Amino acid sequence: MLKISESGAAQYQEKGYYLYKQQLFSEDKLNRIESIFDDHLREKGSKLSDELDRPHIRDPRLLEFLLSDEVLDVVEPIIGPNIALWSSHFICKDPYVGRATPWHEDSAYWKGRASSFENIVTVWLAIDRSNKENGCMRVIPGTHAGGFSDYEKIDASTNTFDTQIKGVDESAAVYFELERGECSLHDSRIIHGATANESPFRRCGYTMRYFSADTKVLDKREIWLARGKDLAGNVYQNV
């Protein structure tokens, strides 16, 4: 497995994203993540498949992957050697009924939870092939430097959120088309979203979110020091 190069890290800093078009985990590990997702899918009850947030809190099996060298080696060139785990999320858009994800910034939903959003990165691992047909993620490059956007209310029955950013120029969007096992990385502040899945093919991903350990966490969430040392006086879970 190759680390992200200096030019790749520079692209991330400039555009707010990077496509890691290599296998992040071995096939065995990828199959085990999918098996864990299948367990959560069976237990989800009335929840939709795109609502399986922070599953590692309930299922410590996922920490093997979230704290693994495979992921941290990809994250380190982006946010540095002191890395903490912020959250994770199974995001599955079922065939034909998978809802659209409106244009948003992750950081807008985390206001008041961290001292800074400059060094929070999401690794989006494709458990299924992800493309335009089944509603892959798309971003507006460079928007991670723009601060919080203005939002408006929308219909939550057909979307994963009930708000969206106003006036996004969709013609500028870059689509994150990934093969199974590949991943993307994006800044918490970048404008991104996804269309609905109107195809016969499931689109499942696992987001793994990390922050530089010089960022102070301001709410009482469970976080883990994944690599390096704490520089902000945060309280971490034991591994």
User: If you write DSSP's letter for every residue of 6-53 in order, what string do you get?
Assistant: HHHHHHHHHHSEEEE-S-SS-HHHHHHHHHHHHHHHHH-TTS-TT-EE
CA 64 from centre of chain: 17
Homologous superfamily (CATH) of 6-227 is q2cbj1_9rhob like domain (2.60.120.620)
Are 59 and 36 in contact by the 8 Å Cβ rule? The answer is yes
pLDDT in tens, the chain (239 residues): 678 999 999 999 999 999 999 999 999 999 999 999 999 988 877 666 666 889 999 999 999 999 999 999 999 999 999 999 999 999 999 999 989 999 999 999 999 999 999 999 999 999 999 999 999 999 999 999 988 999 999 998 889 889 999 999 999 999 999 999 999 999 999 999 999 999 999 999 999 999 999 999 999 999 999 999 999 999 999 87
Are 156 and 162 in contact by the 8 Å Cβ rule? The answer is yes
Which single residue is written with the structure tokens 């864990």?
36
Q: State phi, psi for 58 to the nearest 5 degrees.
A: -90, -20
Q: What is the spatial distance between Cα 130 and Cα 20, in angstroms, rounded to a whole number?
A: 13
- Please tell me the predicted confidence (pLDDT) of residue 51: 65
